[in-house]
Amino acid sequence: AEGGTLLVVPQDGSHWLSMRIVLEKFWERGHEIVVVIPEASLLMKSSQSFTIKTYSVPYTQEFVDRYY
């Protein structure tokens, strides 16, 4: 496939871990990837392979780290 732009709105947890591998392969093939994630999350972190856009949520990163 030719490179294009992908918009991804993933779920946190194991779903994200599997999806991240796929996104990195798309990036290697020339795609531009934008990932939309909550400001506080368990596993979703930045990467050189994609651009992160965040949205606000009614809980903090400290809450997520403490209770999950």
Strands, sheet with 5-8, edge to edge from the N-terminal-most edge strand: 5-8, 32-38, 51-55
Closest CA to 52 of 28, 25, 16: 16
pLDDT of residue 64: 93
Task: Give the chain's domain count.
Answer: 1
Give the pTM: 0.84
- Domain hosting 11: range is 5-67
Task: Identify the pLDDT of residue 60.
Answer: 95
pLDDT in tens, 6-63: 999 999 888 899 999 999 999 999 999 999 999 999 999 888 999 999 999 999 999 9
Say what the pLDDT of residue 50 is: 94
